[in-house]
A and B are shown apart, each in its own frame.
Chain A
Amino acid sequence: MNDGRLAGLLAIDVILIAIAAWLALALLGLVFLRQRAMAARVLFPLGAAVGLLLGTGALWGLASGPQVAVLAIGLPGLPFHLRLDSLAAFFLALLGFASAGISLYTGGYLRADDDTPPGLFAFGYLLFLASMAMVLLAADAYAFMVMWEVMALASFFLVIANHRSAETRSAGFLYLLIAHLGAIAILLCFGVIAVKAGDYSFAAMARGHLSPFWASAAFLLALLGFGAKAGVLPLHVWLPEAHPAAPTPVSALMSGLMLKTAIYGLLRVSLDLLHQPQWWWGALLLALGLATALYGVIFSTAQTDMKRLLAYSSIENVGLIFAGAGLALLFRAYGMDGLAALALTAALYQAASHAFFKSLLFLVTGSVLHATGQRNLGHLGGLIRTMPWVAWLAFIGVLASAGLPPLSGFVGEWLLLQSFLFTPGLPNGFLNMLIPVVAAVIVLVSALAGYAMVKFFGVVFLGQPREASLADARDARLLERAGLVWLAALSVALGLVPTLVIQAIDPVTRLLVGAGLGAAVAKQPWWLLVPTSVERASYGPAVFLVGGLAASAIAALLVHRLYHARLRRAAAWDCGHPWQTARMQDSAEGLGQPIRQIFEPFFRMRRELPDAFDASPHYRVEIEDHFWHGLYLPIARAVEFLARQAGRLQQGRIAVYLLYSFLTLLVLLLLVGR
C-alpha cells in the first residue's frame, strides 16, 4: 500500500482499465448494431458502472501522487505518454461520476424512432467518453492532439445523430468548423512551446523557458483554441446550435463534460506548461470570461427553446469559470499564491457543480421532450402534476444553477466573489479601480441566472398545461429516473459538504499555483466553510439547510394549527374575466420581455406584431446574435469572395494548367539558383 498500490494496481491502471472497458463496450455496440434492448439494458448501464469505476480511480489518484504510464499505440517509436496528476484526476473524477448518471439515463432514454441505430449511437457515445478520459490523461502534445480530435469527431457524429433534419446537419457542420479552428490553434500553441523545449512531452514543455513574447503568443493561441471548445465569446455560436440539435444525453455530455476538457486544457497550458503568467493574461481572461457570462445569461433569459436556454446558460457558466481562472492567473502573476488558490478553487468548484447540475437539467429536457414531443417553452406548462419525479429533480438542478444555497452552484459563486473581494491587494492601481466594478457584473450575472432558471422551471412545470396533449405526459422511466436522482444527489452533496470538496481540490491548486485552501479549511469543523479566516467570511450550508427546513416546517405548522388547514382551489387572478384559458398565463416570451427591453442593444430582434383586427393573432419574436451578423457572415462572405477569385485560376484548359506548373518550376529554379 505504501507505494500507492492496491492489489498490484495503481490508480492510473484502474483508470486505464476503465477506459479499455468503455472501448470494449463501444465495440460491442457495433456488433449488436440494431438491437435496442442490448444497448439500453446492457451497454449503457455497464458504461455507467465503468464511469463509477473511473471516478473512484480518479479520486484515489487525486489523493496519491502523480503516476505515469506509456501506451505503445500510435506511430512506431512515438508512444502515448500518459500521466495522472491531481489536475487530470480532478477532471477525470467529474467525468466518471457525471457520465455514470448520464449513461444510466441514456439506457432508459433510447427510443426506436432515432435516425442512428442504437448500437452505433452507443459506439459513438462510449468512444466519446473514452477519448475525453484520454485527453485528460495525455502527457504529450501528440497524444493530446490525437485524442482531442477523436473527441471532436465522436461528438460531431453524436450531434448529427438525427441527421435527417437539415437544421441538425448545418449545426453539426458549424460545430465541426469551429472545433477544427480551435484544434489548429491548440496545435500551433503546442508547437510554439515545444520548439523551445525541444520535445513534445508536457514534462519537457513545462521545463522550457519562453521569452515573454512567445509565451504570450502560446497563451493567446491556447485561449483561442480552448475558448472555441468552451464557447467563449466570440466563438460561442456553435453552442446554442449544436446543443438543441444533438440527442439529449449528448447535449448533457457536451455541456457538462466536454466544455470542462477545454477548461482543463486552458489551465494545463496557462498554469502548468507556461508557468510564468503575465498579469495581462489574467486580465484578458477575466474580461473575456465576464463578457461571456453576461452575454450568455442575457441570451438565456430571452430564449423560448428549453435546450437553447440551457445552452446559453452553459456559456454563462463557462464565462464564470474563465473569470475565476483569469483571477487566479492575475494573482499568480503578482506572486499572491494563496489568493490565486482561492480563485482557482472557485473556478474548479464552479466547473464541478456545473458538470452535475447542467447534465441534470439537460436530461430533464430530454424527459420532457420524450413525454410531450415539445422543446418550445410556449407549448409546455403544468408538468409538475403529470411528471412529478422529473419536476422535483429539475427543481434541485434549477436551484443549483441559480446559485442558491445550500446547493452546489452557490459555493462556486460565493468563492468567486470572495476572491474578488481580495483584489484591492493587487499592486496595480488600474486593476484596483476596475475590478470592483466587474465584481458587480458577477452579481448581476448570478441574479439573471436565477431569473432564467425561474423562467425555465416556471414555464415548463408550473401553471396550467398550455396544450391539451400535455395531460397524457408520462413520467420518466426507471433508468432515466435513476440517472436523474444520481446527478441531483451529487449536486446536493457538492453543496452540503464544500469543505470535503475543497480539501479534494487542494492538491490541484498546490500543483498549479503552489498553494491551497485545504489546510485553512481543515481547521474548521466539516459543516463550516471558511476559505480564509473566520473574521472575513464563513458559510455553513448544512446549518443553512437545517435552518431553512426548520423555518419552513414551523411556518407550515403555524399555518396549519393557527390558521385553517383547508386546501382551497380557485381561479387565479381572474380579474373579472368571464373565462380563463391556459394561454393567458405568463409565457416564456412574456417573462423574457423585460430583459429584452433592458438589454436591447445586445440583441438583434425581428418582431411580428399582430394586427388589431386579426382573427387569429400571432406574436413572433426572433432573437439573433450580433456576432453572427457582425462577425461570422462577413468572414464567410470574404472566404467565398477569395475562393471565387482563386477559382479564376481554373481555366479548364490543360495547356494553362501545365503553364502554371512550368512557371512555378522556373521561378523555383531561379530562386534556388540565386
Chain B
Amino acid sequence: MSHWIVQSLNLFASLMLILAFAMLSQRRILSLIHLFTLQGLTVVCATATVAYATGRHELYFSAALTFTLKVLLIPYLLHRLIQRLKVQWDVETLINIPTLMLIGIVLVVIAFNLAAPVAQLSASIARGTLGIALACVLLSFMMMITRSKAVPQVIGFLAMENALFFAATSATYGMPMMVELGIALDVLVGMLILGVFLFQIREQFDSLDIHHLERLKED
C-alpha cells in the first residue's frame, strides 16, 4: 500500500521536473499555458495522494483550492489574456535553448545536493521529492530570467509558485491553512495586476517586449 503511494508520489515528482524542463524549452506561449495547466494538475494529484496517505483532510481542501485556481481559473485567464493581446509566439529566449538545458541540469544537481540534508530531517513520506521541488523552483526562476516577453515571465512566476507549493507539501504536509489561503489570494491578485500591467505596457510601447521597459530607468 504505502509502497504504491511512495512510488506514485515519485512519479508525480518526476512529472513535475519533466514539465519544468519542457516549460524552460517551450517557445510557444499557448503550449506554455498547457504545460502550466498540466503542472497544476500534477500538484493537485500529488497533494491528494499525500492527503489520502496521511489522512489529513485539510490537504484535500488545499488540493481542491489549487485545482480551481491553477487548473481552471488562471489558465482560463491566461488564455483570454493572450487572445486579447494577440500574442501566440515567444520569438526567442535570451540564451539559446541547448545552453539553457545544460544550465538547468546543473541547477538540478545543485538542488538535489541542497535538499539531501534537509530531506534527512523531514518525517514526511514524500521527503524524497524535496530535491525535485527545489529544482523546479530554480528552473521556473530560470525561465523568468531568460524570457524576453512579458507573458512567459508571468507564467514562470506562477510555475515557481506551483513548485513552491509542491515543496511545502512534500516537506511538511503543506503550509498552515491561513498561509495557503493568503498565497492563493496573492497569486490571483498578482495575476490580475500583471494582466492590467501587460495591457498598459502594450499601450505604451506597442509591444510586450520587456526591453522597452529599460527606458524607464532614471539616469
Contacts and interface: CB of A to CB of B under 8 A. Distances in A.
Interface string B177-216: 0000000000000000000000000000000001101111
Nearest to B95: A655
Given A665-B141, A673-B113, A650 B146 contact: no
A658 to B, nearest CB: 4
B213 A654 contact: yes
A203 B217 CA distance: 52
A41 to B, nearest CB: 50
Contacts of A659: 145
Nearest to B107: A666
B142 interface: yes
Interface string B144-187: 11101000010000000000000000000000000000000000
A8 interface: no
B110 interface: yes
B138 interface: yes
Nearest to B94: A655
Nearest to A658: B145
A665 B216 CA distance: 26
A650 B211 CA distance: 14
Nearest to B217: A652
Interface string A648-663: 0011111100110110
B92 to A, nearest CB: 13
A307 to B, nearest CB: 39
B217 A650 contact: yes
B98 interface: no
Contacts of B213: 652-654
Interface residues of A, number: 16
Contact of B153 (A652, A654, A669, A670): A654
Nearest to B143: A658
B94 A669 contact: no
A670 B114 CA distance: 7
Contacts of B141: 658, 661-662, 665
A341 B117 CA distance: 64
B79 to A, nearest CB: 24
The A interface, classified by DSSP as helix, strand, loop or mixed, is helix
Contacts of A673: 113-114, 117-118
Given A652-B213, A654-B210, A662 B117 contact: no
A673 B112 CA distance: 11
Given A650-B217, A651-B214, A652-B217, A666 B145 contact: no
Given A666-B110, A673-B114, A673-B117, A653 B211 contact: yes
Contacts of A662: 138, 141-142, 145
Given A650-B217, A662-B141, A666-B138, A655 B114 contact: no
Given A662-B141, A673-B113, A652 B216 contact: yes
Given A666-B110, A666-B138, A673-B117, A658 B217 contact: no
A666 B139 CA distance: 12
Interface string B92-123: 00100000000000000010011001100000
B113 A658 contact: no
A666 B211 CA distance: 25
Contacts of A652: 213-217
A655 B117 contact: no
Nearest to B215: A652
A673 to B, nearest CB: 4
Given A669-B114, A673-B113, A673-B114, A653 B214 contact: yes
Contact of A655 (B110, B138, B145, B216): B145
Contacts of A672: 114
Nearest to B213: A654
Contacts of B215: 652
Contacts of A653: 210-211, 213-214
Contacts of B214: 651-653
Nearest to B157: A658
Contacts of B210: 653-655
Nearest to B114: A673
A654 B117 CA distance: 33
Contacts of A666: 110, 138
A102 to B, nearest CB: 45
A647 B146 CA distance: 23
Nearest to A661: B141
A655 B146 contact: yes
A135 B113 CA distance: 55
A85 to B, nearest CB: 47
Interface in A209-251: none
Contacts of B144: 658
Interface of A: 650-655, 658-659, 661-662, 665-666, 669-670, 672-673
6 nearest A-B residue pairs (beta carbon): A652-B217, A652-B214, A673-B114, A658-B145, A662-B141, A654-B210
Given A651-B214, A673-B117, 5 more contacts: A650-B217, A654-B153, A655-B210, A661-B141, A673-B113
5 contacts: A651-B217, A653-B213, A654-B153, A655-B94, A673-B118
